[in-house]
Amino acid sequence: MKRITLIIIFLPLCFVWANRTRMNVLAVADYIDDPVNIEIFPQHIVLFQNYFYGDLLRDTQDYGIIVAPELKYGGLGIWQEKDFNIGYGINIHKFDIGAYCSPLKDRHRFGFGLGRAFFASRFDLSFILNDETRVNENYGVNLRVLYRKGDFVFVPKYSFLNSNEPYDYISNKIGILLQRLILNEGFVFIGSEYTIQAGAIKEDFLRGFSGLELPLNRTFVFLIGVCEKFDEEFTPPLWDIETGLCLRIREFNFNFHLNKERLFNKEITLFNSFGLDLNFSKF
C-alpha cells in the first residue's frame, strides 16, 4: 500500500507528455520532470515507461524512446540529440538508479544518477562526464529536491560544472522553483537561478523564469514561458517570451512552438518547431 501511495503522490509531477518543443517554450530546464531530461537525471528512465517523443526544429531533429515491458526489470532508453545515447534505469529497494552512455568514437559521454521518492518529497542526484577530445571536456554534478504540500511544489536545485575544453572554467548554479498545480494536469510556476563562473569565463548572472501550462479543454493546451537574465551590474535585462499550443488526441500529443517574429513579418514561418510524443503503454 505504501508503494501505491508514493506513485499517486508523484504522478502529477511526471506529466504524461514530453518533447523538446514543449520544454523550449516553458524555458524551465530540468526543474520539472520530463522524459527529455533523462540526459541530466538518467534514473528518471524508470519513471517514464513506454514513451516515444520526437521534434522537428529549424536546424536539427531529435527523438527518444523509453521501453519498460516489465517494470521490475527496469526500462531501456534510447535517444538522439547532439549525440546518440543509450541508457538503463531500474528501481532497487525503493531507489531509482540509472546510467547512460554515448558510445561514439572520440565523443564519449557518461551519466549516472540516483533518486528516491518519499511520502511528499523526492531527491535526485546525478554525475555527468563529457570527453569529446579538444571539443567538449567537462564533468558536472546535479542535485535536485522536490517538496510537495497540497497543490504546491517547491524545488531547490544545485549544479556544478568543471570544464576543460573548449574553455577552462568552473560554474556553480543554485536555483529554486515554486510550482502550483491547477485544473486538470495544468500548472503555473515561477523561479530563479543564480550562476557564478570563474576561470576563462567570468560572468555572474541571475536568471528569472515563469510560465504556465493551461488546459483549455480536453484537446487543447496553451503554453507560455517568460525568461529574464540580469548580469551582476543589473544593466537592462535581457528577456524573452515564448508561446505554444499542445493538441491532445488520445495518447498522442502534438506540440507547436509559435514563432513570435511572425507578428512582424508574414513571410516567416508560423512555427519554430514541432514536437510529437506518444504514451504507448496504454495501447
Nearest of 109, 63, 69, 108 to residue 90 by alpha carbon: 69
**pTM of the complete model:** 0.87
23 alpha carbon, distance to own chain's centre: 7
Encode the chain (283 residues) as per-residue pLDDT tens digits: 444 333 333 443 444 456 889 998 998 989 988 888 999 999 999 988 888 999 987 677 789 999 988 888 999 999 988 788 999 999 999 999 999 998 877 778 899 999 999 989 999 999 999 887 667 789 999 999 999 999 999 999 999 999 988 888 999 999 999 999 987 789 999 999 999 999 888 889 999 999 999 999 989 999 999 999 888 777 777 789 999 999 999 888 999 999 988 888 887 888 889 999 988 876 6
CA 207/CA 55 separation, integer angstroms: 26
Range of the domain at 260: 2-282
Query: Per the structure, how many domains does the chain have?
Result: 1
Partners of 92 in the β-ladder: 95
User: CATH number for the domain including 29?
Assistant: 2.40.160
At 94, list the grid cell. 525503493
Residues in the chain: 283
CA 252/CA 267 separation, integer angstroms: 30
CB 97, CB 71: distance < 8 Å = no
